[in-house]
Structure 1
Amino acid sequence: MTSTDGRDVVAVVASAGGIGALRELLGRLPPGLPATVLVVLHVAPYGGGALPRVLQRASPLPVAYAEDGQGLARGRVLVAPPNRHLLLAGDRARLSTGPRQNGHRPAADSLLFSAALAAGRRVTAVVLTGALDDGAAGAAAVRRHGGVVLVQDPGEADFAGMPQAALQAVPDAAVLTLAGLAERVAREAREPAGEEFAGPPPDPELERRVSWLMPEDRGIFLPGRTDPEGLSCPECGGPIYRGRRGRHEPARYECVIGHAWTGRTMLGGQAHQVEWALEQAARQLMERERLNRRLAEEAAGRGHHISAMRFAEAGAESERALATIRRLIAEVGDEGAREPADAGSEPG
């Protein structure tokens, strides 16, 4: 990269509340922006194809889902499709069904990690509204590799978790409103980014993470640490290892499949698994109550009143246990949906 080049890769990540924020941000970008805009929004795995159309209504730049192997073209917006990680390899977009990161595919960290490795100083990372902390470690990687990190003002964001976590991981990130973000993105793309950046020392940890996400044949993922944490992966149940992290980054937990979590996203994944297990218990109790009631009716019909009473008591006991399980399901569901009150504090 020469001193006359601007930052021609813009990596935008968002989660909850992201559609409105993306529409406003893209709508404020100038036509002919001399950069490619790559977008990751946490979406349902089997969502429809409406997102590019929704964003296109507000954007002066053409918007489309990215295609695997597609070359970057300035003045275009490429969006991660549902259930695919959007990655950058050289100057080409790659799509991957690699392991979910922080419970998501596409994931914010995946795009930012790969952009940091592929484009270094050419990258402007933009972290928008969202809960929890996907994108924080990726933003730190972009900054280490010479890129710029911009964060939506948490006071403006519908959900402040992702912006606050990114600020914790990158203390010198610029905090701006959506209008300010669009202006800064355009300026970074057009103005010289400075003398050629020699880059940080080799980053084998980041290379390991990104290579595992690329859409190639995979063997066994080798976590960055060898001692298991005594935890299991909420996604696959495999042993969890604690990965390396920078000083301000959230702790990273990885399994041998390659699923990766921060502490907060893993809590959410565990809540989902606990809820699933409780639902299975609730189903078994419902069936047990129903069967006991039928056996009680049959016993009473044959004149076996003591047996009928015992079956009825067992059914009532199952019904009481079911009521307790249902209360627990509601409590776990509320916990999993709740953003931690200290979302802006030091990640664990």
Structure 2
Amino acid sequence: MDAARDPAKTTASGRDIVVVAASAGGIEALQAVLAPLPPDLPASLLVVLHIPPTGGRALPKILDRAGWLRSAAAVDGEPLRHGRVYVAPPDRHLLVRDGGVHVDHGPKQHGHRPAADPLFQSAASAYGPRVIGVVLSGMLDDGAAGCAAVERAGGVVAVQDPAESAYDGMPRAALAATEHAVPLRAADLAAFITEQSRTPVGAAPAPGGAGTRLEQRAAVMDPPGTWSGMTCPECGGPLNVRSGGLPPRYACRVGHIWSAASLLDGQADAVERALWVAVLRLEERVRMSERMAAAAEERGHRRSAEVFRASARESDEAVKTLRHLVEGVAPVSGEAEQPEG
């Protein structure tokens, strides 16, 4: 492999690790960013787009057609190469360590897998000042903590201008979490990436991340912070909250991590699921009560039949009430965008 195109073997380098996060409204922004990038870009791009676990695998093809750089779904263990775009596959986190790409089925963060924060944090840990963090259109605040980690490690952060973004939640959250993030139009982010990739920076830590993985395993067994009095919407385990001068983060023993906004969103989803289960059980109770009433009527037990009919009416009214409640449980965000084509 040509060492000049292998970030793991590059000793003198510009910012050659570009991590990109997008969610709702992000596909068009990704295309706008990739289109002007030159084919000889001395950097590797790693992309996370929020998609459902069963989402299609069309995104790499869409991005491959967007510009000069080759885009493909990330494969666990493959080495990083300059001039390539690595796309997180559905239901897998995308990480960088040991000079290569890793895909991981670890716990969801902010209700997502893939999520932006794990990618950004792993890149900051492994490559320090050589990292460019980019946050595009999306709801809520995934990527904000990751951008803060990139900036603390000496990297730089740019976001799609919130005024241009289809959904400005993620760009605004990244701006709020950092001191020096630059807001730019999607089409102008390519020039920023190209310039930064060709500007020499200080030495980065040796690619690895083993210490980070040990810390992550310890944090899962004993999450830092204090008990929040709440449970994880994903697994039901107790949530610890940690602030320490930063926006609060909530973590359970499994390793699910939430911001305040994503936790509120996850709670809304959990409440809706619970209400639909209750609706199903009550509808079954209506049907069973009606069958019991009919059977009692056939046997001439009119009083028993009326008791069962009253039970059916009561359960039916409860169903109507719960359906009304479900309509009132509005999540903070909408559905994640699914790529087509």
Task: Tell me what 1:335 maps to.
Answer: 331
Task: Tell me what 1:17 maps to.
Answer: 25
Point out where structure 2 has 5 or more consecutive residues left out of the alignment: 1-6, 336-341
Alignment equivalent of 1:299, drawn from 296, 301, 317: 296
Contact kept? 1:63, 1:79, Cα under 8 Å: yes
Post-superposition shift, 1:273? 1.1
The CA distance in 2 between the partners of 1:79 and 1:278, in whole Å, is 36
Change (3 A) 1:11 1:93: same
Change (3 A) 1:231 1:208: farther
Post-superposition shift, 1:42? 0.8
Change (3 A) 1:327 1:82: same
TM-score, with length taken from structure 2: 0.89
Larger mean Cα displacement after TM superposition, 126-135 or 25-34: 25-34
The CA distance in 2 between the partners of 1:209 and 1:316, in whole Å, is 57
**AA in 2 matched with 1:65:** A
Question: What SS does the corresponding residue of 1:335 show, helix, strand or coil?
Answer: coil
Task: Tell me what 1:344 maps to.
Answer: none
The CA distance in 2 between the partners of 1:145 and 1:310, in whole Å, is 70
Post-superposition shift, 1:302? 2.4
Point out where structure 1 has 5 or more consecutive residues left out of the alignment: 213-217, 340-348
Post-superposition shift, 1:105? 0.9
Larger mean Cα displacement after TM superposition, 303-312 or 232-241: 303-312
Question: What SS does the corresponding residue of 1:192 show, helix, strand or coil?
Answer: coil
* 1:224 equivalent in alignment to 2:224: yes
Task: Tell me what 1:236 maps to.
Answer: 235
Contact kept? 1:84, 1:105, Cα under 8 Å: yes
Task: After superposition, give the CA deviation of every residue in 1:288-315 in whole Å (9 maximum; x if it has no partner).
Answer: 1111111222222222222222211111
Alignment equivalent of 1:128, drawn from 130, 136, 152: 136
Question: What SS does the corresponding residue of 2:331 show, helix, strand or coil?
Answer: helix
* 1:281 equivalent in alignment to 2:289: no
Contact kept? 1:146, 1:197, Cα under 8 Å: no
**AA in 2 matched with 1:255:** C
The CA distance in 2 between the partners of 1:25 and 1:219, in whole Å, is 36
Count of residues in correspondence between the two structures: 325
Task: Tell me what 2:339 maps to.
Answer: none
How do 1:1-348 residues align onto structure 2 when only pairs under 5 Å count? 5-193=13-201, 195-196=202-203, 207=212, 211-212=216-217, 221-225=221-225, 227-245=226-244, 247=245, 249-332=246-329, 334-337=330-333
Larger mean Cα displacement after TM superposition, 295-304 or 266-275: 295-304
Quick one: percent identity of the two aligned structures? 48
The CA distance in 1 between the partners of 2:133 and 2:15, in whole Å, is 10
Post-superposition shift, 1:269? 1.1
Task: Tell me what 1:215 maps to.
Answer: none
The CA distance in 1 between the partners of 2:228 and 2:243, in whole Å, is 13
TM-score, with length taken from structure 1: 0.87
Post-superposition shift, 1:59? 2.1
Contact kept? 2:127, 2:205, Cα under 8 Å: no
